Amino acid sequence: MLSTIRASSSSAARRAAFTSTTTAVAGRRLFSNSAIRAAAANETSSAPVKKVGGSSWLTMTGLTILAATSGYYLFSPVDAKPVAAKKEAPVTVAAKKEQPAPKPAVKTPEIIAAEKKDALKDTTVIFVLGGPGAGKGTQCANLVRDFGFVHLSAGDLLREEQQRPGSQYGELIKTYIREGKIVPMEVTIALLENAMLASGQKRFLIDGFPRKMDQALKFEEQVVPSKFTLYFECPEEVMLRRLMKRGETSGRADDNIESIKKRFRVFTETSYPVIEHYKKDGKVHTVSCVDAPDAVYANVKNIFTNLFKDQK
């Protein structure tokens, strides 16, 4: 009887210990329901054990400890929902919008003028003046051949512009030339400057320009200063005779007696003051044109040889 009571007390103590252990394990959510059920089944089957301290008691104790510790390692993956791997939000790269091509910078008239002036830097310009029929064109052709100058005739450029299809200045130039008047300087200077830039050269003979003092000042301010003025001096009667003969074959509208006389008068009133202005600065070389063209050129060549002897 006494042994039965002791066995019951021992069994009750073991059940209390087991309950405490399972409660603690369940509180930490590490003990599985299946492990608890297995331990409970073992406890029930051990109730009739009679021996205290025998092998059956040791077996029960070992099972209890095993059940308690197995919660750390036997947590059933069936009872817990698997944790899905956190997906990275897809990175959407916005398509780059096609950038419009940059608009070319709008150049102001001041910028354009500065660029042109820079392009003509270190340029040699010689004004070639003389009355109509003095022989300027003939002498310029010789200088081009011997000294590598570019000959620009203001009159030729104006006539070419007059004939150019679609020219906005055509009718204006035609009227001024026919009446023996001076074409507005803005037109003439623009034509000369464009011709200089287009040539890509650095030495120029500008024939028949400037016709007035304001043209001279404007050209030197806007384009390039002149080196000197070559003045072909010739009496009006000699020039008139030459022009009338040229008019027989030239087909020029201004090679008629009325236009020629107007041109003489305009030269005396407007162009000669330009020569006087440059004479004061020591920038005029005068050559008489009464003699034959070859004799005239001999004098011209001497002037240029002395001035450009160190330049090829």
294 annotated to bind ligand: no
133 annotated to bind ligand: yes
235 annotated to bind ligand: no
The answer to whether the CB of 125 falls within 8 A of the CB of 216 is no
**pLDDT 10s digits, 212-260:** 999 999 999 999 999 999 999 999 999 999 998 887 777 676 667 888 8
The pLDDT of residue 258 is 84
Q: Taking residues 63-90, report their average pLDDT.
A: 49
Tell whether the model's pLDDT for residue 76 goes beyond 80: no
The answer to whether the CB of 51 falls within 8 A of the CB of 97 is no
The pLDDT of residue 120 is 85
The pLDDT of residue 98 is 67
* Domain range 112-307, CATH class: alpha beta
Residues pairing with 232 in the sheet: 130, 287
Q: Taking residues 7-27, report their average pLDDT.
A: 47
181 annotated to bind ligand: yes
136 annotated to bind ligand: yes
Q: What percent of the chain has pLDDT over 70?
A: 63
- Give the chain's mean pLDDT: 77
Place of tokens 């001279």: 216
Among 24-33, 107-116, 190-199, 240-249, top mean pLDDT goes to 190-199
The pLDDT of residue 109 is 75
Q: φ, ψ for residue 203 (rounded to 5)? A: -125, 125
246 annotated to bind ligand: yes
138 annotated to bind ligand: yes
The pLDDT of residue 15 is 53
6 annotated to bind ligand: no
130 annotated to bind ligand: no
> DSSP alpha helices (H): ranges in 200-291?
213-222, 236-250, 257-266, 272-280
Q: What percent of the chain has pLDDT over 90?
A: 46
282 annotated to bind ligand: no
89 or 293, which is more confident? 293
Tell whether the model's pLDDT for residue 111 goes beyond 80: yes
**pLDDT 10s digits, 179-204:** 878 899 999 999 999 999 999 999 99
144 annotated to bind ligand: no
Do the strands 150-153 and 284-288 form a parallel or antiparallel pair, or are they unpaired?
unpaired
214 annotated to bind ligand: no
182 annotated to bind ligand: yes
Tell whether the model's pLDDT for residue 29 goes beyond 80: no
122 or 102, which is more confident? 122
User: Global pTM?
Assistant: 0.61
Q: Percentage helix, strand, coil, to 5, in the chain?
A: 55, 10, 35
The pLDDT of residue 104 is 64
Q: Taking residues 285-303, report their average pLDDT.
A: 96
54 annotated to bind ligand: no
- State how far the Cα of 36 lies from the Cα of 216, in Å rounded to an integer: 118
291 annotated to bind ligand: yes
CB neighbours of residue 240 within 10 Å: 17
